Structure 1
Amino acid sequence: MILSAKYGFLFPDELIPGNYNVTFNNPKTNPIGVEELRKQAEHKGLMKYDEIVVVAGSNYVKIVRKVFAVKKIITPLKGLGGMGPMISAIRRAIRDEREL
């Protein structure tokens, strides 16, 4: 799943109608709320999973923790810093054929 601050949980094949500038990092951009995300998670069948893996920055992890409050949240990129180090870690894992 992809977590969009504007549209919520999206399957990879879902299309959005263009660019947008909304982020959980800035509440002034009016991101989607936790209650709406919970409804989407239920509707899209995400609540059936016991573990949720989040590959994102800390603010997005916080949102996912709120949505899936009773689930185990796994954050393999925790502590790596910004997106650059996270992307590098993912590339190394792919190159070395290993799990994060």
Structure 2
Amino acid sequence: MVPLCIIPCGKKKIWDLDPEAGAVYAKDAYQGTLHHKCRKYAEANGCDWTILSARHGFLLPYDIVPENYDTGFHFPKDQIIADAALTQQWQDKNLYATDTLVLLTGKKHEKVLERVLSQPEQYEWQKPLQGCRGIGDILQRLDLLSSTNT
């Protein structure tokens, strides 16, 4: 089975560069360095990937992001996607069809996944960014891990 990378969305989006962009594919919406390096890692390592967004939930590359937003999992519960909706997306998008989850996200995202997956123990959890000390360290590690597999 192909591993599934869970990658963060990020604050910087296409609408920051082009306010008139309109609705776009998820693969084109997020413009931050961390997001791009996480995608590069996933692709270099032969993984499928999904974006985990506090507003829209699990986004596959060709899912539509309708407009700009600024929402994080640290926001109040009434402003973020509900756990039940995330669980439904996990099933509907067949994200469960893997045996390995590669977390390229922070601890908040990990806790969300642990809540919404019906059997989190059925997966091997890989955390290649574990132990990083800040964004500089994270970006450097992603570069190193992406270049060793290309």
Calculate the TM-score normalised by the size of structure 2.
0.57
Compare the two structures and name the one with the higher strand fraction. Answer: 2
User: Which structure has more RCO (C-alpha within 8 Å, separation ≥ 6)?
Assistant: 2
Instruction: Please state how far the C-alpha of 1:13 moved relative to its aligned partner.
Output: 2.1
Count of residues in correspondence between the two structures: 98
Of all paired residues, the percent bearing the same amino acid is 30
* 2:129 counterpart of 1:80: no
Residues 57, 82 of structure 1: 8 Å contact kept: no
SS in 1 for 2:52: strand
**2:84 pairs with one of 29, 35, 56:** 35
Q: Deviations over 1:35-88 (max 9, x none)?
A: 211110000001222221110111111112222323332211112133332122
Structure 1 67/59 Cα, relative in aligned 2: closer, same or farther at 3 Å? same
**1:22 pairs with one of 71, 78, 87:** 71
Where structure 1 has 5 or more consecutive residues not aligned to the other structure, the ranges are none
Instruction: Please state how far the C-alpha of 1:6 moved relative to its aligned partner.
Output: 0.3
C-alpha distance in structure 2 between counterparts of 1:72 and 1:13, whole Å: 26
Calculate the TM-score normalised by the size of structure 1.
0.81
Q: CA RMSD of the aligned region, Å?
A: 2.1
Residues 6, 31 of structure 1: 8 Å contact kept: yes
